[in-house]
Structure 1
């Protein structure tokens, strides 16, 4: 399916700040930058002049094609796209991040991510046929599969970190 068929919205971040212009103080808001790791989180910052972006979304950086599920509210650096759907949750989000990262492999510095290019990008998602005979995203199946994968991963690392299984 095209990415635009999977998500309700795909927009640029409206709560972006250059890091040097962030308001001082302690806070509880995540600040995302163009990093490839750590869920793109580069700092925890105070409230800024605008409200942070709501969590429960997927973010993609235009420069590095970093793709992450964001559970909590956040501010961003420039050039972040935000993907939302009313049925998105942490489990389906982790599944979608994986399939979106595979699709991002075709982008690079010379052929970077853009809104127009993403609108033409297909990703692999589970589908079901609805009552009218149309293929639609299987959000329940995606969440169940994402949850099963997360449980399996948590059980696999529990002996390593000493957590109860």
Structure 2
């Protein structure tokens, strides 16, 4: 049986997987990059169990991908904000999105990533298909694509969009 960690590996991919390789983690980062900040909003978007979400958010904060800040007292409630290290995961998330659109989205892309500057689409290499500009997390808007769930449709917790 394989160990659940990569401690013995001298490899940057293995070290990265220690941070983002657990189930749900990249989906949490995806949602955070799209503007989700609060625990209950992550739960509602993902359909993830409370204990798993709490664990993953804690690990992402510990790793410096997200930062937790108090927004309410009595009871204490926190928001999670993307750090510079979290923003650096945007190319990874977008590359996975484009790969999934190409190889796994039989109904079409569930999410379209558009260049805010000209309305073009994100393409592999993280450039705009219209103007050719290199794009980053602050250059794009996202909108439902042809493979998106219709309004009111339920998404299985095991297969979020």
Q: Would you call these one fold, judging by a TM-score over 0.5?
A: no
Q: Larger relative CO (CA 8 A, sep 6+): 1 or 2?
A: 1
Give the TM-score normalised by structure 1: 0.24
Give the TM-score normalised by structure 2: 0.24
